[in-house]
Protein backbone atom coordinates (compact mmCIF):
# COMPACT_ATOMS: atom_id res chain seq x y z
CA UNK A 1 0.00 0.00 0.00
CA UNK A 2 1.25 3.46 -0.94
CA UNK A 3 2.53 5.60 1.91
CA UNK A 4 2.64 2.72 4.39
CA UNK A 5 5.95 2.71 6.24
CA UNK A 6 6.02 -1.04 6.79
CA UNK A 7 5.03 -1.79 3.16
CA UNK A 8 8.06 0.32 2.16
CA UNK A 9 10.25 -1.66 4.59
CA UNK A 10 8.96 -4.97 3.17
CA UNK A 11 9.67 -3.82 -0.40
CA UNK A 12 13.15 -2.62 0.58
CA UNK A 13 12.43 1.03 -0.29
CA UNK A 14 13.22 1.86 3.35
CA UNK A 15 16.16 -0.08 4.85
CA UNK A 16 15.70 -2.32 7.87
CA UNK A 17 17.66 -4.85 9.90
CA UNK A 18 16.02 -8.04 8.64
CA UNK A 19 15.96 -11.06 10.93
CA UNK A 20 13.53 -13.35 9.09
CA UNK A 21 11.52 -13.58 5.88
CA UNK A 22 9.28 -16.13 4.23
CA UNK A 23 6.54 -16.11 1.60
CA UNK A 24 4.03 -14.47 3.94
CA UNK A 25 5.89 -12.38 6.48
CA UNK A 26 8.90 -10.20 7.15
CA UNK A 27 10.62 -9.51 10.48
CA UNK A 28 13.07 -6.75 11.38
CA UNK A 29 14.54 -5.00 14.40
CA UNK A 30 12.49 -2.18 15.93
CA UNK A 31 14.14 1.22 15.41
CA UNK A 32 13.37 2.18 19.02
CA UNK A 33 14.00 -1.00 21.01
CA UNK A 34 12.22 -1.34 24.34
CA UNK A 35 14.06 -4.54 25.32
CA UNK A 36 17.48 -6.04 24.47
CA UNK A 37 15.69 -7.97 21.72
CA UNK A 38 12.83 -6.10 20.04
CA UNK A 39 11.66 -7.42 16.69
CA UNK A 40 8.60 -6.60 14.58
CA UNK A 41 6.89 -9.35 12.57
CA UNK A 42 4.61 -8.09 9.80
CA UNK A 43 2.50 -9.77 7.12
CA UNK A 44 3.60 -8.97 3.56
CA UNK A 45 -0.05 -8.26 2.70
CA UNK A 46 -1.16 -4.90 4.03
CA UNK A 47 -3.83 -5.02 6.72
CA UNK A 48 -4.14 -2.17 9.19
CA UNK A 49 -4.18 -4.05 12.48
CA UNK A 50 -5.04 -7.30 14.21
CA UNK A 51 -8.69 -6.22 14.03
CA UNK A 52 -8.49 -6.85 10.27
CA UNK A 53 -6.47 -10.07 10.49
CA UNK A 54 -9.45 -11.95 9.10
CA UNK A 55 -8.55 -10.39 5.72
CA UNK A 56 -5.36 -12.49 5.66
CA UNK A 57 -5.31 -16.03 4.31
CA UNK A 58 -5.16 -18.92 6.77
CA UNK A 59 -1.69 -19.64 5.34
CA UNK A 60 -0.48 -16.14 6.13
CA UNK A 61 -1.91 -16.24 9.66
CA UNK A 62 -0.27 -19.58 10.35
CA UNK A 63 3.03 -18.39 8.89
CA UNK A 64 3.14 -15.36 11.19
CA UNK A 65 2.48 -17.45 14.29
CA UNK A 66 5.11 -20.01 13.32
CA UNK A 67 7.59 -17.27 12.42
CA UNK A 68 7.37 -15.86 15.95
CA UNK A 69 8.59 -19.11 17.49
CA UNK A 70 11.30 -19.58 14.85
CA UNK A 71 12.59 -16.05 15.39
CA UNK A 72 12.59 -16.49 19.18
CA UNK A 73 14.71 -19.64 18.83
CA UNK A 74 17.00 -17.94 16.31
CA UNK A 75 17.49 -15.04 18.76
CA UNK A 76 18.15 -17.39 21.69
CA UNK A 77 15.15 -16.23 23.72
CA UNK A 78 15.14 -19.53 25.58
CA UNK A 79 14.03 -18.00 28.87
CA UNK A 80 10.88 -16.55 27.33
CA UNK A 81 9.64 -13.49 25.52
CA UNK A 82 6.53 -11.34 25.17
CA UNK A 83 4.44 -10.82 22.01
CA UNK A 84 2.39 -7.61 21.71
CA UNK A 85 0.17 -6.26 18.94
CA UNK A 86 -1.10 -2.76 19.59
CA UNK A 87 -4.46 -2.08 17.92
CA UNK A 88 -5.94 1.37 17.51
CA UNK A 89 -5.64 4.62 19.46
CA UNK A 90 -6.39 3.18 22.92
CA UNK A 91 -3.41 0.83 22.50
CA UNK A 92 -1.19 3.60 21.02
CA UNK A 93 -0.77 1.87 17.65
CA UNK A 94 1.49 4.25 15.71
CA UNK A 95 2.00 2.36 12.42
CA UNK A 96 -1.20 1.26 10.69
CA UNK A 97 0.13 -2.04 9.30
CA UNK A 98 -0.45 -5.14 11.43
CA UNK A 99 2.67 -5.99 13.41
CA UNK A 100 3.65 -8.18 16.32
CA UNK A 101 6.35 -6.98 18.70
CA UNK A 102 8.64 -9.73 20.01
CA UNK A 103 10.23 -8.44 23.21
CA UNK A 104 12.84 -10.41 25.09
CA UNK A 105 16.26 -10.60 26.65
CA UNK A 106 15.19 -9.29 30.05
CA UNK A 107 12.60 -9.96 32.76
CA UNK A 108 9.29 -8.38 31.72
CA UNK A 109 7.02 -6.59 34.16
CA UNK A 110 4.28 -8.85 35.52
CA UNK A 111 1.70 -6.14 34.84
CA UNK A 112 1.14 -5.82 31.10
CA UNK A 113 -0.49 -2.41 31.00
Annotated active-site positions, please?
A: 99
Residue pair 75/19 in contact (Cβ under 8 Å)? The answer is yes
For residue 28, give the 3-state DSSP assignment.
Answer: strand
Q: What's the farthest any 2 CA atoms get from each other in the chain?
A: 39
Nearer to ligand DGP, 45 or 86 (CB): 86
Quick check: 31 binds ligand DGP (CB under 6 A)?
A: yes
The residues, any chain, with a CB within 8 Å of residue 69's CB and separated by 6 or more, are none
For residue 23, give the 3-state DSSP assignment.
Answer: coil
Among 3, 13, 23, 32, binds ligand DGP (CB under 6 A): 32
Q: How far is the CB of 81 from ligand DGP (least distance, A)?
A: 15
Q: How far is the CB of 39 from ligand DGP (least distance, A)?
A: 9
- Helix and strand numbers, DSSP H then E, in the chain: 2, 5
Residue 41-80 contact track with ligand DGP, rule CB under 6 A, x = bound = ----------------------------------------
Q: How far is the CB of 4 from ligand DGP (least distance, A)?
A: 11
Amino acid sequence: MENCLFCKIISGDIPSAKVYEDEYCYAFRDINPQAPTHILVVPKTHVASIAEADQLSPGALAAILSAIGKIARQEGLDNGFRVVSNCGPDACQSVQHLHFHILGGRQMAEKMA
